[in-house]
Chains A and B, each alone.
Chain A
Amino acid sequence: MFATLRNWIDERFNWADLTAPLRKKTVPAHDLSYWYFLGGITLFLFGIQVCTGILLLLYYRPSANEAFESVQYIMTRVQFGWLVRSIHSWAANLMIFTAFCHMFSVLFLGAYRKPRELTWITGMLLLFLAMGFGFSGYLLPWNTLAFFATKVGTEITGQVPLIGHGLKVFLRGGEDVTGATLTRFFGFHVALLPGLTTLLLLTHIALVQYFGMSVPPAVEARWKASPSEARQMKFFPNFFLRELMAWYIALGVLGALAAILPWELGAKADPFAPAPAGIRPEWYFMFMFQTLKKIPAKVWFADGDVLGILVFGVAGVIWLLLPFFDQAGGRRGRRLVLGAGIFALSYIIAMTIYAYMAK
């Protein structure tokens, strides 16, 4: 039966030629090949987010009066609503985690080097978009923690010099966090960010397909010395089946998390109540949050918070342009980037742990 279908398509679209590149595609096979999975897992989790997100859209109401109740409705009345919602919340966190791991593995394995600079840039932009997804999505249940976390988060944005106030008003849809903010964040979360992500994602994947998988410098050197050791694995079916295993493991983990540690609902946000103790953003913002908390109020002449924000802004730009720093640095370039990577990773991990322990 599949054969007839294939012939039908082949007669019209030359299926064989279309799929030839995929059949020929190979993946370098070496000890570090498993790191190649991370990009695919992030993509897979994004796919899960799109599906569960669309399902949630069928019942969610983006107004301050009804948002909380609609999520409560999904959790209690809709068949398997608890599953869809918990998977959406857990997969969001897992996706950002794998995106960070993917970025760091690309950095440490040198896959950003020429000719893959644009792949790195599109990837970094995708990471920023993912964090934007996380920030906007977090507000949507309109519970106390989300409300105040958004308040603090947008307040910090407001401290960027010159454009800060305008940026804050743009994000909040006004001076304060209100129902208007919720509607706006909803628009960002289901339309603006998905649109931008789709464009960047298609570009990113096309670039990956075009350049093929990069080989880490150490392995490259080894293979240059003894070419007979160089091995390639066929993408289809060998690598793909292994990747499928990774995806199924991810599915199992997600299901277990959703059933055993369901995402909590909390209490409905009350804008007039005082902020509860212990307001904090989600874990992927914690290292920045903790840094800002620890910077003294005044550093020389500059306001501590503004300095912190600027530092992170500059760091973000540097990170975006990392491949060019590598090239510009000549032989030391790679070392510089590795050093920066180790520093960034340690800093993020240390600050995140510090933030949670300090509570």
Chain B
Amino acid sequence: MHTWLNDGFLRSSILLLTIVCVCAGGVRAQAPSTCLDCHAALDPPLQVTQAQFSQDIHAQQGLTCASCHGGDPTKADMDAMSKAAGFLGKIQRKQIPELCGHCHSDGAFMRKYNPSLRTDQLTQYKTSVHGKRLLQGDTKVAVCIDCHGVHDLRPASDPRSKISPLNVAQTCSRCHSDAKYMQGYGIPTDQYANYNLSVHHEAMTVRGDLSAPTCPTCHGNHGAAPPGIDSVKNVCANCHVFQAQMYDKSTHKVAFQSAGLPGCVVCHSNHGISLPTDAKLGTGPEAVCMRCHKPGDICDQARAKMLQDLTQLDGAVKAADRILAIAESSGMEVSEARTEQDQARDSLTKARVTIHSFKTELVEQDIQAGLQIAAKTQAEGQAALAERDRRRRGLGLSLVIILAVLLGLRLYIRQIESNASKVETAELHR
């Protein structure tokens, strides 16, 4: 049946029309811009392609090249870049923060796009090391576009963004790990390398924990500066509350403060924070206490006691684990004991936190609680093994009885059959 919909020409025309309308509608969101016509074909650093710019969040919100660079985007040739039209050309690095701040610090303006975005970035930036140095004329420091990108700027929630938690450390490292670039500033360039070895980095990249700390978490982003020596502990305390509380009440706080030492960093370092093991309390290469304390003094004794307690509980938990594993592989059901083992492990974690009070009595309390649980689960494991042995003995007994029956049956069969055959033979011989 030949209806109007079957007409091939009509069909393709409608399709084409639809495509054109959709494109026009899409293009309507972006004002006509001739800049990219030329600049897409140029070489870097003048190159900006449509592909790049379409990813940019400013472009998606309706801003054009002229919004920042000035000029007349409707003109198709070099007239577009006339001074008369307000063309600014390449923005000077020194001017970038003010340019971005022109919109981003204007609360009323930003409310039109995203009311919950902060508008104090410029103010914060001016307090940062980057901001202060820029004011003094150092254009090597980071300005807005160095971290955020410029023509393909993405929000922080976009995992491809240079400032996404997953990527921001690498963004910082572009300058801060470049020894040649950082010459003359007098700060180390190994932070990124160290951070990559840390627990926090592992938490983010291996466990996917986006809440794990990265550079801006401790240094701030716009107001980036190292935390003061006295403030390091406050920064760590944002997550590690208990450790900080205990440290505050301990002897070390006063001691470190008066010596001008940076709190947590003294034992845990700042960038390359490794997983703290009990070896930190030991006397080997990882030991931290003996860097200051003298062998044999009262602190050394306390250290030795705490290490001994921890080792004891760790050993007890591991021993109980082993016996439960044996019981399980023999087929015994020990899931309840396994759950209780979790509590024993919790006590061990708690004890390791309590170390930060540097008081052996407090550590002792947590250890004792854990030892009790571990003793209980150990006993449960033993009981499971004893039960397994009981079952095997029971099995052995029943197998003996079965063997007796089998033997009895065999002999009985032989008896009645030899009897029968003897009767047959006797009869045959009658």
Q: Do chains A and B touch in the complex (CB under 8 A)?
A: yes
Interface residues, chain A, with chain B CB atoms under 8 Å away: 72, 75-76, 82-83, 237-238, 241-242, 244-245, 248-249, 251-252, 255-256, 259-262, 264-265
A72 and B395 contact, CB distance less than 8 A: no
> Inside 8 A of A256's CB, which chain B residues have their CB?
395, 399
B392 at the interface (CB under 8 A from A): yes
Q: What are 5 contact pairs spanning A and B, CB under 8 A?
A: A242-B409, A249-B406, A251-B402, A260-B331, A262-B332
A262 and B331 contact, CB distance less than 8 A: yes
> Inside 8 A of B336's CB, which chain A residues have their CB?
76
The segment from B22-30, B288-296, B317-325, B412-420 found at the interface with A is B412-420
B-side binding surface: helix, strand, loop or mixed? helix
B405 and A248 contact, CB distance less than 8 A: yes
B399 and A238 contact, CB distance less than 8 A: no
A260 and B392 contact, CB distance less than 8 A: yes
B333 and A259 contact, CB distance less than 8 A: no
B349 at the interface (CB under 8 A from A): no
Q: Min CB distance, B253 to chain A, in Å?
A: 47
> Inside 8 A of B392's CB, which chain A residues have their CB?
259-260
Known: A248-B402, A255-B399. A265 touches B333 (CB 8 A): yes
In the complex, the chain B residue whose C-beta lies closest to that of A72 is B333
> Inside 8 A of B207's CB, which chain A residues have their CB?
none
B409 and A241 contact, CB distance less than 8 A: yes
A76 and B402 contact, CB distance less than 8 A: no
Query: A72 vs B409: C-alpha distance in the bound complex, in angstroms?
Result: 39
> Inside 8 A of B139's CB, which chain A residues have their CB?
none
> Inside 8 A of A261's CB, which chain B residues have their CB?
331
> Inside 8 A of B333's CB, which chain A residues have their CB?
72, 75-76, 82, 265
Query: A6 vs B255: C-alpha distance in the bound complex, in angstroms?
Result: 100
A237 and B335 contact, CB distance less than 8 A: no
Interface residues, chain B, with chain A CB atoms under 8 Å away: 331-333, 335-336, 391-392, 394-395, 398-399, 402-403, 405-406, 409-410, 412-413, 416-417
Query: A48 vs B327: C-alpha distance in the bound complex, in angstroms?
Result: 28
> Inside 8 A of A83's CB, which chain B residues have their CB?
391
> Inside 8 A of B417's CB, which chain A residues have their CB?
238
Select A255's contact among B398, B405, B410, B416, beta carbons within 8 Å: B398
Select A248's contact among B335, B394, B406, B412, beta carbons within 8 Å: B406
Query: A237 vs B415: C-alpha distance in the bound complex, in angstroms?
Result: 12
B331 and A241 contact, CB distance less than 8 A: no
> Inside 8 A of B403's CB, which chain A residues have their CB?
252
> Inside 8 A of B410's CB, which chain A residues have their CB?
245
7 shortest interchain CB distances as A-B pairs: A262-B331, A259-B395, A252-B402, A76-B333, A259-B391, A245-B409, A75-B333
B413 and A242 contact, CB distance less than 8 A: yes
Query: A72 vs B402: C-alpha distance in the bound complex, in angstroms?
Result: 30
> Inside 8 A of B398's CB, which chain A residues have their CB?
252, 255
> Inside 8 A of B405's CB, which chain A residues have their CB?
248
> Inside 8 A of B413's CB, which chain A residues have their CB?
238, 241-242
Query: A245 vs B406: C-alpha distance in the bound complex, in angstroms?
Result: 6
B416 and A252 contact, CB distance less than 8 A: no
Q: Min CB distance, A310 to chain B, in Å?
A: 40
Q: Min CB distance, B308 to chain A, in Å?
A: 37
In the complex, the chain B residue whose C-beta lies closest to that of A249 is B406
> Inside 8 A of A75's CB, which chain B residues have their CB?
333
> Inside 8 A of A249's CB, which chain B residues have their CB?
402, 406
Q: Min CB distance, B125 to chain A, in Å?
A: 46
Query: A76 vs B333: C-alpha distance in the bound complex, in angstroms?
Result: 6
In the complex, the chain A residue whose C-beta lies closest to that of B407 is A245
Chain A CB within 10 Å, residue with most, of B336, B391, B392, B416:
B391
A241 and B412 contact, CB distance less than 8 A: yes
> Inside 8 A of A262's CB, which chain B residues have their CB?
331-332
> Inside 8 A of A245's CB, which chain B residues have their CB?
406, 409-410
B394 and A259 contact, CB distance less than 8 A: yes
Query: A251 vs B406: C-alpha distance in the bound complex, in angstroms?
Result: 11
In the complex, the chain B residue whose C-beta lies closest to that of A251 is B402
Query: A285 vs B97: C-alpha distance in the bound complex, in angstroms?
Result: 71
> Inside 8 A of B406's CB, which chain A residues have their CB?
245, 248-249
Query: A75 vs B334: C-alpha distance in the bound complex, in angstroms?
Result: 10
A237 and B416 contact, CB distance less than 8 A: yes
Q: Min CB distance, B335 to chain A, in Å?
A: 7
In the complex, the chain B residue whose C-beta lies closest to that of A256 is B395
Select A244's contact among B335, B391, B394, B409, beta carbons within 8 Å: B409
Q: Min CB distance, B396 to chain A, in Å?
A: 9
17 other contacts beyond A241-B409, A260-B395, with CB at 8 A cut-off? Answer: A72-B333, A76-B336, A82-B333, A238-B413, A241-B413, A242-B413, A248-B402, A248-B409, A249-B402, A252-B402, A255-B398, A255-B402, A259-B391, A261-B331, A262-B331, A262-B332, A265-B333
> Inside 8 A of B399's CB, which chain A residues have their CB?
252, 255-256
Query: A244 vs B407: C-alpha distance in the bound complex, in angstroms?
Result: 12
> Inside 8 A of A72's CB, which chain B residues have their CB?
333, 335
Query: A126 vs B383: C-alpha distance in the bound complex, in angstroms?
Result: 44
> Inside 8 A of B394's CB, which chain A residues have their CB?
259
Query: A257 vs B229: C-alpha distance in the bound complex, in angstroms?
Result: 67
Query: A283 vs B220: C-alpha distance in the bound complex, in angstroms?
Result: 61
Query: A306 vs B52: C-alpha distance in the bound complex, in angstroms?
Result: 50
Known: A72-B333, A245-B406. A255 touches B395 (CB 8 A): yes
> Inside 8 A of B335's CB, which chain A residues have their CB?
72
